[in-house]
Amino acid sequence: MTLRFTYIFTWVLGCFSALSVAAQPAAPRPAATTGIAVLTGHIANSTTDTIAVSIHDSPFDLKERISYAHINEKGDFKLTVQVNGSTKADLVYGDAVADLFLDPGTDIDLKFKGDDMPGTIKFKPNDVPTGFTTRLRNGGNLTDEQKHRQQMANANSYLAEFDEQFVSNDGFQVLPDNIQLYEAPFISFIDYRLKHEQNFLEDRAAKQSFTIDFYNYAKAEIKYSNANDRLTFVDLREQVVNTEGRLTMSPTYYDYLRDPNLINDQTAVQNEQFQEFLLNYIHYMAAQQKHLRTDPDFYPICYSLASKRLNGASRLLTLGRILQESFRFGHVRQSAAMLADYRGLDTKKFYLNALESDFNKHKALAIGAPAPDFKLLSATGDTVKLSSFQGKLVYLNFWKSTNGLCLRDLPYAQDLNKRFEGKNIVFINVALDELEVPWRQLVVVKKLPGVHVRAIGGMRSDVAKAYNLSEVPTYVLLGEDGTILNAKPKRLSSRAAVDEINQSFGKASMYTTAMSQMPTTTSTAK
């Protein structure tokens, strides 16, 4: 149930890529019971010898914990997975992925065809009498352990059926066709889908038993995937339907956001759709106050809004999501200040350790961080030191003379140099070629503009390591103060590169001003 267009929308925006009913818990996540989930199964005509389950233990850690099992020559396997309470998981078989929901005590058997896992997967509980009556809500005469196994088989059967009926059906998705709709028919589409998905859940819940954790998960998945799609519709449509301008919505389009139960639904706190919705909601509120993503104070503004508008576990998770955005796209000093505030909120360190690790991973090349200095020889034999250009905007181009993409960008590099000739900017091209002679000949013969230097050792050089380079071409834009202004500026060949550079003059000082005006958030968050 995860293939909603909200995730595609996040990817399109270039932002990574993803909080909950009534009572506010004392802690963001109730103490979870750690235990084992067991999956046995048979695969007809298996095409590989391994099957796996992957789980994200933390919403702030991109690493997956993966448990593997061997598939024997008969197509049988047994997989045990350690789980921390009820959790969503992915069943991975070759290139195919299916949603799972697991908890301690899950013990289910599954079967599918090796060439079509999503379309043929079936679940049943292990060591539970078969028959219709065992699937009913009262569980017949089953023991508590057997009832639980039946409930988890019911849950995973529901996920497979829901995926087939709704997620894999383009008619129930925004993309590719329903994005073309205008306001009134789009609202009708969302209302129609929401009604049918809710009816599907309630019909299944009336006929068979679910655990309360799974029911809350499934309910939130429906509620917030639809809320997300409505919230992000206008932005996505503007980008996808490029033959039309941005839609102007009626004053009542966003009225559904006024429902306090929508924003602070604590029973949905661990649902990814809810977490994604809250982040998009805060972005929307910032936009309503005329704050753009490109503004130097965008992330502190979002952090302040979340502190004031959210509560309980929802607030802590959303603040963490905003921090992660700031680590990647915001100023390092702003990120450090907000992280310091967060330490005072997450006193039990539910998420703090993961966030601090993420900050440490990104801070060296974040906006506002001092650009790693280097001293290299130019194509003419002169010594060039990066720090000597402080006071100018610096566009760094890490490239190779043997790379096709880099060579394709050369004409655009020449054009940019001409466009900004006489302006307070310098284009420094750092070659990562292993061989010096071919690079030098290309620079001299072609009379390439800008400053040209070479890092001996190529991708293994100190410069490549300092800038964490993994591919070429890679571009980095530095401010006049010698700090990183943009670790991923527009490519030289991009039509938007000129506008981006023009907007970058003096922007480093704007961040300094924004730092002095950062709102204090801890007092308002408590």
Alpha carbon of residue 282 to chain centroid: 16
Q: Which residues pair with 43 in a beta bridge?
A: 112
Give tens-digit pLDDT for 453-497: 999 999 999 999 999 999 999 999 999 999 999 999 999 888 899
Q: Taking Cα atoms as reference points, which of 482, 307, 320 lies closest to residue 386?
A: 482
Q: Give the residue-averaged pLDDT of 273-293.
A: 97
Residue 139 is predicted with a pLDDT of 61
Residue 202 has pLDDT above 70, yes or no: yes
7-21, 166-180, 405-419: range with lowest mean pLDDT: 7-21
What residues have CB less than 8 Å from 5, skipping those under 6 apart? 173, 174, 175, 179, 229, 232, 236
Q: Band of the pLDDT at 209, cuts 50, 70, 90?
A: very high
When pLDDT is averaged across residues 235-263 and rounded to a whole number, the result is: 95
* Whether the predicted pLDDT of 141 surpasses 90: no
pLDDT tens by residue, 435-451: 999 999 999 999 999 99
% of the chain at pLDDT higher than 70: 90
From residue 242, alpha-carbon distances to 180, 237, 320 in Å are 10, 8, 33
Q: Are 508 and 483 in contact (CB under 8 A)?
A: yes
Higher pLDDT, 21 or 307: 307
Q: How far apart are CA 515 and CA 172, in angstroms?
A: 45
- Model confidence band, residue 138 (pLDDT cutoffs 50, 70, 90): low
Q: Which pLDDT does position 33 carry in this prediction?
A: 77
Per-residue burial over 472-501, b = 16 or more CB atoms within 10 Å of its CB, e = otherwise:
bbbbbbbbbebbbbbbebbbbbeeebeeeb
What per-residue confidence (pLDDT) applies to 515?
Answer: 81
Domain regions of the chain by residue span: 30-181, 375-494
Amino acid 32: pLDDT? 59
Between CA 225 and CA 242 the distance in angstroms is 24
User: What's the order of all strands across the beta sheet hosting 76-84?
Assistant: 76-84, 34-44, 107-113, 122-125
For the segment 125-146, the average pLDDT, to the nearest whole number, is: 77
pLDDT of residue 27: 36
Q: By C-alpha distance, which of 365, 357, 298, 290 is closest to 326?
A: 298
The pLDDT of 273-286, averaged and rounded, is 98
Backbone angles phi, psi at 389, to 5 degrees: -95, 10
In terms of Cβ atoms closer than 10 Å to its own Cβ (0-12, 13-18, 19+), residue 318 is buried
Stretch 405-426: mean pLDDT, rounded?
96
Max distance between CA atoms of the chain, in angstroms, equals 87
Distance CA 380, CA 377 (A): 8
User: Which burial class, exposed, middle or buried, applies to 8 when counting CB atoms under 10 A from its CB (0-12, 13-18, 19+)?
Assistant: middle
Q: In the CATH scheme, what is the homologous superfamily, with its name and number, of domain 375-494?
A: Glutaredoxin (3.40.30.10)
pLDDT given for residue 12 in this prediction: 39
306/298 Cα distance (integer angstroms): 12
Alpha-carbon torsion (267, 271, 277, 279), positive or negative? positive
Please tell me if the domain spanning 30-181 has the same topology as the one spanning 375-494: no
Main-chain dihedrals φ then ψ at residue 384, nearest 5 degrees:
-120, 125
Q: Are 274 and 220 in contact (CB under 8 A)?
A: yes
Regarding predicted confidence, which is higher, 6 or 358?
358
Residues 6+ apart with CB under 8 A from 520: none
Residue 90 to residues 100, 231, 234, Cα–Cα distance (Å)? 6, 27, 31
% of the chain beyond a pLDDT of 90: 85
pTM above 0.85, yes or no: yes
Least confident of 12-21, 175-184, 288-297, 326-335: 12-21
CATH superfamily of domain region 30-181: Carboxypeptidase-like, regulatory domain (2.60.40.1120)
> Which spans in 172-329 are helix H?
183-207, 212-240, 260-263, 272-288, 298-309, 312-329
pLDDT at 411: 94
Contacts of 214 by beta carbon, 8 Å cutoff, 6+ apart: 86, 101, 151, 152, 155, 158
Q: Which two tokens stand for residue 39?
A: 């999956």
Q: What does the pLDDT average to over 123-129?
A: 95
Alpha helices per DSSP H over 348-435? 352-362, 404-419
pLDDT in tens, 52-92: 999 999 999 888 999 999 999 999 999 999 999 999 999 99
Whether the bond between 296 and the residue before it is cis, its omega within 30 degrees of 0, is no
